[in-house]
Structure 1
Amino acid sequence: MEKTFRNYEAVDVSAAVKEHYRKMRTKQTVDYVQRMHKKYLTFDKPMPLFEAMAHLNKLIDVSDPDLDLPNVQHLIQSAEALRADNRPDWMQLTGLIHDLGKVMFLWGSDEDGTSQDEQWGTVGDVFVVGCALPDTCVYPEFNALNPDMADPRYNTPTGMYEEGCGLDNLTLAWGHDEYLYRVLANHKENTLPEEAMVMIRYHSFYPWHTGGSYKELLCDKDEKYLEIIKDFNKYDLYTKSQKVYDLDEVIDYYRPIAEKYLGTGPIYW
C-alpha cells in the first residue's frame, strides 16, 4: 500500500507535532522574525559543510509526522534519490544540504524556539509574517493565536506588502530554509544556480506551493519558482523511509560536488 505523507490528522501523529505548530503560530510574528534576523544572520561561525551535516545526527525534526530518524538521514535519502534519477550534480548537492540550516540548534535557545528541544523557530511549514494567515496552514485553528492577526497593519491579505510584489520581497516565518539561504547567499564561493537557491529557500513554504495561497502577493517570476519547488518536492517529501545510511560512506561521492559549487573553505554560519 502506498505510504501517505503529511497526514497531520492521523491518530498516530504525536501531540508534540501539534504543540509544535501551536507554538510556531503563536510566537512567529513580524517582531520575532526581525529579531531572529538580527541575532542569527551574523555569519561569524566558521564550520565546514560536512561537519554541519554530522551535527544533524543529533537532531530529530519534531514537526515531521513522517520520519523519526536523525535529520541527516532525510538529507542523504533525498540526495540518493536524486542521484538514482541522474538529476544534475548541483541538484543532488541541494538535496544533500537543503535542511542544513537546522544546525542553528547548536547556538540556539529554548526561548527563541531554535534549540534541540524547542524547534518552533527552526522547523515546520513556514508562512508569511506581516499579512493574514491563510487556512492552508497546518492546523489553521491556531492562526487566531498569532498576535499580528489583531494588528490592522498585518491582518489583511496583503498586510505590509504591495500587491504583486513577489516571493523574494516577502518575509517568511523564521526557520532553517531562510537561514541556510542567507548563509549561502553570503558565502563568496557559492556558485549554485538560482534554481538551487529557490529550492533551499522555499521548500517548507507549503501554504504557497501546495496550498495555493498568497495569490495577491505573487508575481510572474513566481510561476517558475513553483515549477522548481514542485520538482524538488518529490525528492524532499516522497523519499522519506526508515532506510539508514552511513554518512561516511556517501561523503566520498558528494565531496567533489560540494567543492565544485561551494569551494573548499568553511562556511560562515
Structure 2
Amino acid sequence: MEEKTFRNYDAPDVSAAVKEHYRKMRKNQTYDYVQRMHKKYLTFDKPMDLWEAMRHLNSLIDVSDPDLDLPNVQHLIQSAEAIRADGRPDWMQLTGLIHDLGKIMFMWGNDEDGTSQAEQWGMVGDVFVVGCALPNTCVYPEFNELNADMKDERYNTPTGIYEEGCGLDNLELAWGHDEYLYQVLSNHKDNTLPEEAMVMIRYHSFYPWHTGGSYSELLNEKDKEYLQIIRDFNKYDLYTKSQKIYDLQEVMDYYRPIAEKYLGTGPIYW
C-alpha cells in the first residue's frame, strides 16, 4: 500500500468502533485516571516469559487500528521482519518485534479501566499529554471537549502543570501499551536495550507530537533527537502493515538469541 492509504480515519470503510474507541479514550483519559492506572498496573508482580506474552497477542485485535484487523502478533512480526530485511541492528529488530507487547495488559485488565479485549481505550490508540490542553492534532479533535480536564484551569492551557521546555521525559502521557511496556522494561533487571529502543517503545503512539507537530512549548533539545528516532521507527511500525500471515513459532528461532542477548533468559515481570 502507498503511505497515503494508511491512517485515514475519515475513509468510508473505517468502522464505527474505531471512532467510538477514540471518543471513549478522549473522554476518560484524564490526568487523575492516568495516575490511578500507574498505581494499579505498575506493580511488576506478574512473571511471564516473553514468548508466552507474544502468543497471548494472538488473541488481541487492536480496535483503534483503521488499517489492520489481524491479531496483533502479526503486526509485530511484520514490523520486525521489515527491519531485519533492511539490515538494521539486531536491537532494532527486537524492538520491532516487542514494541506493542504492552497490550498484554488485557490479560489482567478490565472493561472499567479500558484495558480489556472489549474496551481498549486505556490500552491502544494515539496518545496525548494529560495535564495540559489537548491539541487539534488528535484524531477526531471534536472529542477533546469531552475531557473534563479541559474545563479545569490547572490543565487546560498549552503548558498546564508543566514547565515550559521541560522535555518529553517529564510529561505524563495518556495511559496505554507504550508507557506500560516502557515501565516494565525499565524495571527489568536484565534489560540492556539501548536508549533509542526505549524511546521507540515509549513514544511510537504519540502521533500529535511526532506527526502532528504539537506541544512545541514543552519540548527541549533532546526531543529533536527523539523525533528523528521515532520517525525512523515509524516507517516500520506503520508502513509494513499487510495481510501477510507469519507463524510465530517459525520466526522464534531467529529472534530468540537476540531477545536473550538484550533481555536475558528469565521471565519479565509485568
TM-score range (shorter-chain normalised) is over 0.9
- Runs (4+) off by over 4 Å: none
1:259 paired to 2:252? no
Q: State the match for 1:224 in structure 2.
A: 225
Distance 1:170 1:205 in 2: 12
**Once the 2 structures are TM-superposed, how far is the Cα of residue 260 of structure 1 from its aligned partner?**
0.1
**Once the 2 structures are TM-superposed, how far is the Cα of residue 210 of structure 1 from its aligned partner?**
0.1
**Once the 2 structures are TM-superposed, how far is the Cα of residue 9 of structure 1 from its aligned partner?**
0.1
**Once the 2 structures are TM-superposed, how far is the Cα of residue 232 of structure 1 from its aligned partner?**
0.1
**Once the 2 structures are TM-superposed, how far is the Cα of residue 77 of structure 1 from its aligned partner?**
0.0
C-alpha deviations, 1:190-226, integer Å up to 9, x for none? Answer: 0000000000000000000000000000000000000
SS at match of 1:65: coil
Q: State the match for 1:2 in structure 2.
A: 2
Instruction: Give the CA RMSD over aligned residues.
Output: 0.6
**Once the 2 structures are TM-superposed, how far is the Cα of residue 88 of structure 1 from its aligned partner?**
0.1
Q: State the match for 1:106 in structure 2.
A: 107
Q: Aligned runs of 1:107-126 on 2, under 5 Å?
A: 107-126=108-127
- Percent of pairs with identical residues: 86
Count residues with an aligned counterpart: 269
Q: State the match for 2:71 in structure 1.
A: 70
Could you list the runs of 5+ residues in structure 1 that have no partner in the other structure?
none
1:245 paired to 2:269? no
SS at match of 1:257: helix
**Once the 2 structures are TM-superposed, how far is the Cα of residue 2 of structure 1 from its aligned partner?**
2.7
* TM-score normalised to structure 2 length: 0.99
Distance 2:185 2:2 in 1: 36
Equivalent residue letter for 2:50: L
Q: Aligned runs of 1:172-187 on 2, under 5 Å?
A: 172-187=173-188
Equivalent residue letter for 2:56: H
Distance 1:160 1:143 in 2: 18
**Once the 2 structures are TM-superposed, how far is the Cα of residue 101 of structure 1 from its aligned partner?**
0.1
SS at match of 1:54: helix
Distance 1:113 1:128 in 2: 18
Distance 2:197 2:269 in 1: 19
Q: State the match for 1:57 in structure 2.
A: 58
C-alpha deviations, 1:74-115, integer Å up to 9, x for none? Answer: 000000000000000000000000000000000000000000
Q: State the match for 1:139 in structure 2.
A: 140
Distance 1:102 1:202 in 2: 15
Equivalent residue letter for 2:227: L
Distance 2:85 2:38 in 1: 37
**Once the 2 structures are TM-superposed, how far is the Cα of residue 10 of structure 1 from its aligned partner?**
0.2
Q: Aligned runs of 1:144-223 on 2, under 5 Å?
A: 144-223=145-224
C-alpha deviations, 1:8-65, integer Å up to 9, x for none? Answer: 0000000000000000000000000000000000000000001000000000000000
Equivalent residue letter for 2:247: D
Equivalent residue letter for 1:29: T
Equivalent residue letter for 1:2: E
SS at match of 1:239: coil
Equivalent residue letter for 1:248: Q
Equivalent residue letter for 2:63: V
Distance 1:220 1:81 in 2: 30
SS at match of 2:17: helix
Q: Which moved more, 1:239-248 or 1:3-12?
A: 3-12
Distance 1:76 1:24 in 2: 27
C-alpha deviations, 1:219-261, integer Å up to 9, x for none? Answer: 0000000000000000000000000000000000000000000
Distance 2:118 2:239 in 1: 26
Q: State the match for 1:22 in structure 2.
A: 23
Distance 2:118 2:143 in 1: 21
Equivalent residue letter for 2:169: D
